Amino acid sequence: MFIFTLFVISHYNTVQRIHPPVKHPIGGKVQTPKGEKNLTNRTPIHVHGPGPMRMVQEVDCQQIIEGNEDYIAHASEIMNNTMFSFLNDSQIEKIALNCDKFLNTFDYSRFIVSQIELDFPIAYSIITYKDVVQTEKLLRAIYRPHNVYRIHVDRSSSPSLHNAIKAISKCLSNVFVTSKLEDVIYKGYSRLKADLNCMTDLLNYSDVKWKYLINLPAQEYPLKTNSEIVKVLQILNGTNSIESYYDKASHYRTNQTYKENYKTSKLEPTGKIKAPAPHNVTVAKGSAYGTFSRSFVEFALRNPKAMDILKWTEDTLSPDETFWTTLVFNKELGAPGIQYLASGVPNRKSWITVGVMWQSKGPTREMAKIVSLQIKIPVRDNSIKHIDVADSRDRKESFSTNDSLILSKNVD
């Protein structure tokens, strides 16, 4: 599997270069660079300009985009032999304490967007527990001043991580640290709670009327532009992209109770039999990550039956991989934005968010967000075929699992 960071700007007859509103590092007051228009006034400057800078100029991204496998191998060799130097957590924090320096150093000073993007804001939930440099690079890649971002920092993470993320958030008026932080235990309810805390904050944030929410771990990275993501979300037209299927082999996750042990930082089985799920629902399996419509997020956080199911998952294993999926799988719950087949099960063709490819050697996992229009990125999984997605007006756009929005390598 080849992993590349691609920055591709879609072409418009007229593009808008906008400057993000920034927070004063003390007091959180919104500032606008002298002589520039604030994004919140909806009056960005119209200019033509180049896209973002690339760290490796000798690689021809267009050949990678077009799927030239020989060139991809060549580019991979260049990347493997190129040494990169990255700042540590404390160094990034020191820079972020001076917001002007941070915005210029990390290239947050200006962005090229279309009016379509401005009219289609997206909310992002980011879960991080280490590596400020990786978290910041993800944020910068998906950042646009008209979107909104909530970052959950594991409560048990290092002070340097907390301080650096907090300093970064003070420099950008639409980036926030989640109001309630969890001490996250892998596979425990605290992992799901971290996402729920971000989603609750994003729903309560009234300054940006976002239409979709995408949740991400800090170890993912986009291969698509904000413009391309918006185009796909417009085609989805309110439909969610949430993986959901019945898996009998996963019953061990919910047929007994589990308990988070904060002394060992592990989830431990209790041996006690778990009562059946409420409302006679079928417990489903799927990814912890997805593309959620605003109406679905409201349903998941506020519907009484959804709350009952959430409460039931608290002492199960990996509830982040069963809560959303169970809401989707059970048609009788009435979750919005779900396509069902005549048999009553979710239409898996609408699942275009995350493809997981397990490597043959070791537990390392490749995850590819499958949302795209035209750019071809090879994904070596022949078992996944072409996907069609139709919106409510029966208009069809074609998607392929070779079209990736986000590609990440989790090296844990």
SS3 267: strand
Q: Which two tokens mark 358?
A: 């397990």
Is the pLDDT confidence value at 165 over 70? yes
Percent of all residues in the chain with a pLDDT value above 70, rounded to a whole number: 71
**384: Cα within 13 Å, side-chain hemisphere:** 23
- 220-265: per-residue pLDDT in tens? 888 778 998 999 899 899 999 998 888 888 889 999 999 999 999 9
What is the CB neighbour count within 10 angstroms for residue 116? Answer: 12
Sheet arrangement for strand 365-369: 354-358, 365-369, 406-410
The span from the CA of 256 to the CA of 13, in Å, is: 59
Percent of all residues in the chain with a pLDDT value above 90, rounded to a whole number: 52
- 264-304: per-residue pLDDT in tens? 999 999 999 999 999 999 999 988 999 999 999 999 999 99
**Residue pair 266/185 in contact by the 8 Å Cβ criterion:** yes
Confidence of residue 9 (pLDDT cuts 50, 70, 90): very low
What are the b/e assignments for 19-47, b being 16+ CB within 10 Å? bbbbbebeeeeeeeeeebebbeeeebeee
The span from the CA of 201 to the CA of 174, in Å, is: 12
- pTM metric for this prediction: 0.76
**Residue pair 277/315 in contact by the 8 Å Cβ criterion:** no
The contacts of residue 220 (CB under 8 Å, 6+ apart) are 138, 289, 367, 369, 406, 407, 408
Residue 356 is predicted with a pLDDT of: 52
SS3 356: strand
- In total, the chain counts a number of residues equal to 412
96-412-216 Cα angle (round to 5): 55
Q: What integer is the mean pLDDT of 32-49? A: 35
Per domain, the residue ranges of the chain are: 244-287+294-351
Query: Tokens 């130097």 correspond to what residue?
Result: 85
Residue 84 is predicted with a pLDDT of: 73
- 112-141: per-residue pLDDT in tens? 889 999 999 999 999 999 999 999 999 999
Using a 10 angstrom Cβ sphere, with 0-12 exposed, 13-18 middle and 19 or more buried, the burial of residue 302 is exposed
Residues assigned a catalytic role: 321
Q: Which two tokens mark 218?
A: 């800090």
- 133-164: per-residue pLDDT in tens? 999 999 999 999 999 999 999 999 999 999 99
Residue 355 is predicted with a pLDDT of: 52
